């Protein structure tokens, strides 16, 4: 039981210095109260992930005090922390892919033993309480990132923790799923008296959801305030240490067609995931893909990349048919930056320079066969310079980078190999406001260079800020297509939810006019 008038969790002067000399935390103070939602923010590399590791017992603090329920503690393992009453939902969700949803939710109760009928009833109660329906017997390996995130939330709720640390719980969720998370968080704090530490890069949800905010910068807490005393501009300035300049919407001038379509997708489909989809993309165009979780957004990108062996239909790039294999897509000049960058887009244990050259080793190889390390280093160093990647060296594992810098590497590895079409799946998920602006500016530069971009994002405001045109998906179908400057976030939400009667009709397979951007 927490003593009256005492925070359930308090950090006093917490520092963390790693063996290599890196100082990740420099005297962080933090107080979290029961019945409150505490927002934790900061740019990538500010120290949030290290602080969460200290809280979860994954690593010890080098200095300072961790005070739990009014008493100083020295946890040494995650099991101790969990037993004390703290659950952590990590950004990279540590579920067991070969077990079912039900088995993962109650994994801490049974270990390797199977669940009982009683657990099934408890599962039904949990899902009903948060208003989220998911098959308890589905394998986690078959779930999308958003669905796995919901399983992790259910797992934390089943553990009955008094403090729940949520590290970017909504980063890969569409608006509908985010609202489910918000309802759960509010219920836990207001109705059950739980404490929640909510880590997010979405400033609007921090303003709407939290009671207090702590902002980290360069390993120290630079701002603590009641949320009601802040606005998004205050928060963004504190995160960046300087005013953040927002991207302006794209040019609204409409031009006529000047060339043939760059990409033609014709009747592209896949059993149970994609109905026949047809659309065109022009050189220099950014086409956004809107839709809620399960709408087929990611599946569409994978089918274009020829990564779905069951896909039917055709993909033509610059008038040439793309063969039905990933290698054929890469050879044609198509790149995919997947939603789960660490699991699908990068090799975490490989150094930066190795990750950077993987798709195009023949370009840095002697006689096209034997990779030359000096060339790979040169390539990687140029990418780091061009994209302003924050790293001490190109010779460190990519797993040591912050989320925003890792995402830059996931994109950069395609920049020097003749890529003409970039398929970007949630490229700004889980990265801070400053890095997000950098990534979106990079997307614009890619398109301005004469390539084309298809961009999936759960943030419809973001889609509208960077796209020339938006296609909307619902239940595996393209249900609408809009000029970015002729639609709104409200309309995209309606269309994504399948509400087409309330908005003007636009043929799903039509080809709207050429992009408004001038192409060099």
DSSP result, 381-429: HHHHHHHT---S-TTSBGGGS-HHHHHHHHHHTTTTTT--EEEEESTTT
pLDDT reported for residue 365? 66
Inform me whether the pLDDT recorded for 351 exceeds 90.
Answer: no
Q: Which residue has the higher pLDDT, 333 or 416?
A: 333
Reduced to 3 states, what is the DSSP secondary structure of residue 469? strand
pLDDT reported for residue 506? 43
Average pLDDT across the chain, whole number: 83
Residue 2 in any domain: the answer is no
Residue 62 in any domain: the answer is yes
Residue 223 in any domain: the answer is yes
Q: How far is CA 190 from CA 28, 37, 157, 277, 349, in A?
A: 27, 9, 15, 45, 42
Residue 251 in any domain: the answer is no
Reduced to 3 states, what is the DSSP secondary structure of residue 53? helix
Residues 375 and 481 in one domain: no
Report pLDDT digits (tens) over 33-50. 999 999 998 876 788 989
Inform me whether the pLDDT recorded for 422 exceeds 90.
Answer: yes
Domain boundary among 205, 240, 275: 240
Full residue range of the structural domain in which residue 383 is found: 348-413
Residues 117 and 181 in one domain: yes
pLDDT reported for residue 113? 56
Closest CA to 433 of 249, 232, 287: 232
- The domain tally of the chain equals 3
pLDDT reported for residue 3? 60
Residues 154 and 26 in one domain: yes
Residues 357 and 328 in one domain: no
Residues 329 and 365 in one domain: no
Q: How confident is the model at residue 254 (pLDDT cuts 50, 70, 90)?
A: very low
Report pLDDT digits (tens) over 108-134. 665 555 666 678 888 998 888 776 789
When mean pLDDT is compared across 71-85, 234-248, 304-318, 349-363, the lowest value belongs to 234-248
Report pLDDT digits (tens) over 136-173. 999 999 987 778 878 888 888 888 789 999 988 876 66
Inform me whether the pLDDT recorded for 402 exceeds 90.
Answer: no
Residues 311 and 397 in one domain: no
Residues 102 and 221 in one domain: yes
Residues 115 and 235 in one domain: yes
CB 55 within 8 A of CB 49: no
CATH number at residue 427: 3.40.50.300
pLDDT reported for residue 512? 38
Structure tokens at 68: 């739990």
């Amino acid at each position: 039981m927490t003593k009256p008038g005492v925070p359930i969790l308090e950090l006093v002067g917490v520092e963390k210095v790693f063996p290599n000399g890196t100082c990740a935390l420099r005297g962080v103070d933090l107080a979290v109260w029961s019945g409150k939602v505490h927002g934790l923010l900061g740019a990538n590399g500010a120290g949030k992930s290290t602080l969460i590791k200290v809280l979860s017992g994954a690593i010890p603090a080098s200095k300072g005090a961790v005070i739990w329920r009014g008493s100083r503690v020295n946890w040494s393992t995650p099991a101790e922390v969990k037993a004390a009453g703290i659950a952590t939902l990590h950004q990279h969700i540590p579920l067991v892919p070969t077990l079912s949803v039900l088995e993962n939710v109650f994994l801490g109760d049974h270990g390797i033993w199977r669940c009982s009928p009683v657990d099934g009833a408890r599962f039904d109660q949990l899902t009903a309480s948060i208003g989220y329906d998911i098959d308890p017997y589905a394998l986690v390996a078959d779930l999308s990132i958003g669905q796995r995130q919901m399983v992790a939330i259910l797992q934390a709720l089943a553990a009955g923790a008094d403090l729940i640390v949520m590290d970017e719980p909504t980063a890969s969720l569409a608006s509908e799923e985010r609202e489910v998370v918000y309802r759960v968080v509010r219920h836990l704090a207001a109705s059950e008296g739980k404490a929640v530490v909510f880590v997010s890069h979405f400033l609007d949800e921090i303003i709407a959801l939290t009671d207090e905010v702590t902002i980290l910068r360069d390993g120290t807490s630079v701002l603590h305030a009641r949320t009601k005393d802040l606005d998004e501009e205050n928060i963004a300035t504190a995160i960046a240490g300087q005013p953040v300049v927002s991207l302006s919407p794209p040019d609204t001038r409409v031009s006529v067609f000047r060339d043939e379509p760059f990409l033609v997708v014709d009747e592209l489909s896949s059993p149970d995931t994609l109905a026949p989809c047809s659309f065109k993309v022009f050189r220099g165009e950014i086409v956004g893909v809107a839709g809620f979780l399960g709408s087929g957004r990611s599946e569409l990108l994978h089918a274009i990349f020829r990564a779905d062996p069951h896909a039917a239909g055709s993909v033509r790039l610059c008038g040439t048919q793309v063969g039905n294999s990933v290698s054929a897509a890469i050879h044609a000049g198509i790149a995919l930056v997947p939603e789960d960058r660490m699991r699908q887009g990068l090799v975490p244990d490989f150094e930066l320079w190795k990750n950077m050259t993987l798709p195009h080793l023949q370009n840095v190889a002697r006689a096209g066969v034997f990779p030359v390390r000096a060339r790979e280093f040169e390539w990687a160093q140029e990418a780091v310079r061009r994209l302003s990647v924050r790293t001490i060296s190109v010779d460190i594992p990519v797993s040591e980078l912050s989320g925003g810098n890792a995402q830059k590497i996931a994109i950069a590895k395609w920049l020097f190999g003749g890529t003409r079409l970039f398929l970007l799946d949630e490229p700004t998920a889980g990265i801070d406001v400053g890095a997000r602006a950098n990534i979106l500016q990079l997307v614009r530069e890619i398109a301005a260079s004469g390539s084309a971009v298809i961009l999936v994002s759960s943030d419809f405001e973001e889609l509208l800020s960077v796209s020339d045109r938006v296609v909307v998906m619902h239940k595996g179908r393209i249900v609408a297509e809009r000029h970015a400057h002729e639609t709104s976030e409200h309309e995209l939400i309606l269309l994504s939810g399948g509400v087409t009667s309330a908005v003007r009709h636009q043929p799903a397979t039509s080809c709207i006019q050429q992009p408004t951007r001038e192409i060099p």
